[in-house]
Chains A and B, each alone.
Chain A
Amino acid sequence: MTAVRIDRLGTYFVLCTFSLLALYPVLSILFLALHRKTDLVSGFAIPTRIDLSSFEAAWTEGHFATGFKSSFIVAGAVTAASAVLSIGTGYAFGTMRFVGDRIVFPIILLGIIFPYEATVIPLYYDFQDVPLLHWNLLNTYWALILPQIGQSVAFGTFWMRAFFRSTPPSLIEAARIDGASSFGVLWRVLLPQAMPAVLTMSVLVFTYTWNEFLLALVLVSGTETHQTAPLGLSFFAGASRATDPTKVAAAAVLVALPILLVYLFLQRHFVRGMLAGALKE
């Protein structure tokens, strides 16, 4: 009995230690943010009093009202659009056969390991002067939304296909025998069951889109009005880290906050999604 007890204690000790390790940088920057500029902070300084002045300063000077608005618009649009598109592709690959499906699916899968950095150069020039239409879409939300929808389709397709494949075929057959069209089957029978899977996919797409940096740096850094929050943080840190690290720390906390909040409430979905089916719940 004691051996098992030690075993369990050891386990909890290890888990606690590593959990602390995971939290440490977040805590450290939070503590830094809770100080005032004039405190000469050094080390892992636990604040003796909570001072939110750095957060105020960061919010106004970093123009995060605009940054957050941009990030929400972009992440929201990308999430919604890629959800709709991935439901479609996942449904098709998961329940139907059609000419070329064996070739197209792996091509889409490629997108999961795709090196997106390699596409920013043409994206920049093509948005600056859209072929055939000659629009200039730089520094607009479209410049961020459109490519990221494209980038999310790969994972979304993979995820929804896995879901649709796991639905019992008898369910689909029964509906078809009743005369439902393929869309009817999707809309009336499968979708209600798919909501948890869609939610999982959505929280992940939202997170990756919110955190995206390189695309924003290349495509929307020209004007403050369309900067996303992470991009705003990068510029703010560059301009102010030398003179006021507490302000920059506060800004960093602010930028991470929305995702952390969503994570707190929906963490089950995050975990399930990221472990991509290797983990059986």
Chain B
Amino acid sequence: MNRRLLGVLVLVAFTLLAAVTAGAYAGRQATTTTLTMWSYDNQDPGLEPVLKQLSKDFEKSHPGVKINVVFKSFTDLVGTVPRALASGSGPDVTEGNQGYQTDAQLVKAKLILPLTKYIKKYKWDKLYAPSTWGMFRWTPDGKSFGKGPVWGIAQTGQNVVAFINRKKLIAAGINPNKLPRTYAGWERMLATLRAKLPADDPVIEAGNKSGYGFIHIFGGIWGAYVQPQSVRNWVYHVPGSRYDSAGTIKALGRLQAWAKAGYFNDDYNAVQEDAAAGVFAKGKGAMWIGGDWDSTIIKEGLGAKNIVVTPIPPGPGGQWASIGGLSGPWHISAKTKYPDLGAEWLNYVITSTRAKALMFSQQQIPSDKSAKAPAGDAYLGQVSKAFQQVANDDGLLLYTDWASPSMYTTLQNQFQLLLAGRQTPAGMAKAVQDDWAKFDKTLR
């Protein structure tokens, strides 16, 4: 009996190994063409249903083609996509991330294709203003950001704005239709809210578990103290740029002051940004400051009529600014068998009328600057205006984690320390600049 068991074990082992090999061969003879896309636009409601629906439409108009969209969290995708593309069995089309951590690596290792011929074919150059294309440009050695061919294309415009609960404004004696137009006024408003709200209700419901929550929130404060162009130069590694300017240090001090004054919820390090939006949508906190890709989540919770959407107003310089830019860059894998088909899908999800309609229906702003928000949706109008206001003022600060492969972790750690009172603004600014400088040396 026992020998038989051993025999069975051995048989099982060989059967499995045989099955594995057989499976590997069988997998190659598919009758349909399957394309795999990776995305971190996993907001539902939000872009996720848009991408799913558009892919279904694409399949209908392309018989024999199957589109498999895989949604991962931002950190999971960014952490696994370089290896996935390098393996040769990874996605055909995928989002990456602008900046030195991800896109620079993908370009340097020749894992993605330059999009030059598709830009020509589909006339994508009409989509964005010329300076916007900078965030997708890299020299083929992956060292110079903002120069060289274009490697990616984005679906939506994005920026970080404040979503405010109308009822709570009124309860605090603030007129929702006459919000402050200056940063100083904004800070006074926050103080009023803190004074008038119940003690256990935060002024700002924040979600920093993944570390980008405060990178986003900080942008609005930052814009009141520095020139947006200096921030963009720093991200693009223009020689001589610095993070530790007097303006930045002051702005960091303001963010720390907000934390000391008790504006944020206690558990911001345990909650993810999207989750915090959901919590705000259920009625906690007076406002949520974050990406407008979560606008639908908020609408579904509070109701469109109860929300005021605005960027944080400008400082003495008068320029509206916020962290923002375009959404994640879509790339075509250099190892895909179907680059043209992939480009066609991209063209469909970014430029088609159907795509724009679906995006608007989920309160997402198409990146195509010619897209007009349909009239009659006041909430969408607010979100759209909040983006335009900053974009037209040339105030989009991009995303500071783009500045080096380790910058995301550095910023995440430093913001957490700063807000907990364990780091000074000057100390943080120095730590961030040190990271930038260390990496900058490798680019020269």
| Chains A and B touch (C-beta atoms under 8 A apart) | yes
State the CA gap A277–B6 with chains docked (Å).
Answer: 23
Residues of B with C-beta under 8 A to A131: none
Residues of A with C-beta under 8 A to B84: 139, 221-223
With A239-B71, A243-B275: A80-B12 Cβ-Cβ less than 8 Å: yes
* B85 nearest CB neighbor, chain A only: A222
Query: A187–B12 contact, CB under 8 A?
Result: no
State the CA gap A198–B87 with chains docked (Å).
Answer: 36
- Stretch from B17-25, B188-196, B432-440 contacting the other chain: B17-25
Q: Top 8 closest A-B pairs, CB basis?
A: A80-B13, A222-B84, A238-B73, A242-B275, A138-B87, A195-B2, A192-B2, A222-B90
State the CA gap A141–B22 with chains docked (Å).
Answer: 12
Instruction: List the interface of chain B (C-beta within 8 A of A).
Output: 1-3, 5-6, 9-10, 12-13, 16-17, 19-20, 24, 27, 36, 42, 44, 68, 70-73, 75-76, 80, 83-91, 272, 274-275, 278
Query: B12–A76 contact, CB under 8 A?
Result: yes
Residues of A with C-beta under 8 A to B90: 139, 222-223
Out of B3, B73, B89, B278, which one reaches A139, CB within 8 Å? B89
Is residue A207 contacting chain B, with contact meaning CB distance below 8 A? no
* A221 nearest CB neighbor, chain B only: B80
Please give the distance in Å from A200's CB to the nearest CB on chain B.
13
State the CA gap A194–B1 with chains docked (Å).
Answer: 12
Please give the distance in Å from A60's CB to the nearest CB on chain B.
13
With A222-B87, A243-B275: A140-B24 Cβ-Cβ less than 8 Å: yes
Residues of B with C-beta under 8 A to A234: 76
Please give the distance in Å from A154's CB to the nearest CB on chain B.
19
Is residue A81 contacting chain B, with contact meaning CB distance below 8 A? yes
Is residue A218 contacting chain B, with contact meaning CB distance below 8 A? yes
Residues of A with C-beta under 8 A to B274: 242-243
Out of B13, B20, B44, B278, which one reaches A84, CB within 8 Å? B13
Query: B83–A222 contact, CB under 8 A?
Result: yes
Query: B36–A218 contact, CB under 8 A?
Result: no
Residues of A with C-beta under 8 A to B75: 238
Is residue A73 contacting chain B, with contact meaning CB distance below 8 A? yes
Out of B12, B27, B88, B272, which one reaches A138, CB within 8 Å? B88
Query: B13–A77 contact, CB under 8 A?
Result: yes
Out of A198, A221, A239, A242, which one reaches B6, CB within 8 Å? A198
Is residue A8 contacting chain B, with contact meaning CB distance below 8 A? no
Query: B17–A77 contact, CB under 8 A?
Result: yes
Residues of B with C-beta under 8 A to A84: 9-10, 13
Instruction: List the interface of chain A (C-beta within 8 A of B).
Output: 73, 76-77, 80-81, 83-84, 87, 124, 128, 136, 138-142, 145, 187-188, 191-195, 198, 202, 217-218, 221-225, 234-235, 238-243
Query: A223–B72 contact, CB under 8 A?
Result: no
**Binding site of A, secondary structure by majority: helix, strand, loop or mixed?**
helix
Most chain A Cβ neighbours within 10 Å, of B9, B72, B76:
B9
State the CA gap A193–B2 with chains docked (Å).
Answer: 8
State the CA gap A195–B4 with chains docked (Å).
Answer: 10
Not counting A191-B3, A195-B5, A217-B80, a sample of 8 additional A-B residue pairs whose C-beta atoms are within 8 angstroms of each other reads: A77-B20, A87-B6, A192-B3, A222-B87, A222-B90, A235-B73, A235-B76, A240-B42
Query: B278–A235 contact, CB under 8 A?
Result: no
Query: A136–B87 contact, CB under 8 A?
Result: yes
Most chain B Cβ neighbours within 10 Å, of A80, A87, A194, A242:
A242
Please give the distance in Å from B305's CB to the nearest CB on chain A.
23
Please give the distance in Å from A128's CB to the nearest CB on chain B.
6
Residues of B with C-beta under 8 A to A238: 72-73, 75-76
Query: B83–A141 contact, CB under 8 A?
Result: no
Please give the distance in Å from A201's CB to the nearest CB on chain B.
11
Query: B10–A80 contact, CB under 8 A?
Result: yes
With A222-B89, A239-B72: A80-B42 Cβ-Cβ less than 8 Å: no
Residues of B with C-beta under 8 A to A77: 13, 16-17, 20
Residues of A with C-beta under 8 A to B44: 243
Out of A145, A202, A223, which one reaches B89, CB within 8 Å? A223
Query: A191–B6 contact, CB under 8 A?
Result: yes
Please give the distance in Å from A252's CB to the nearest CB on chain B.
16
Out of A87, A141, A242, which one reaches B278, CB within 8 Å? A242
State the CA gap A45–B16 with chains docked (Å).
Answer: 42
Query: A73–B36 contact, CB under 8 A?
Result: no
Please give the distance in Å from B206's CB to the nearest CB on chain A.
14
State the CA gap A15–B20 with chains docked (Å).
Answer: 45
Query: A235–B72 contact, CB under 8 A?
Result: yes
Please give the distance in Å from A209's CB to the nearest CB on chain B.
12
State the CA gap A198–B3 with chains docked (Å).
Answer: 11
Out of B3, B19, B89, which one reaches A73, CB within 8 Å? B19
Please give the distance in Å from B226's CB to the nearest CB on chain A.
32
* B8 nearest CB neighbor, chain A only: A80
Query: B87–A128 contact, CB under 8 A?
Result: yes
Residues of B with C-beta under 8 A to A198: 5-6, 9
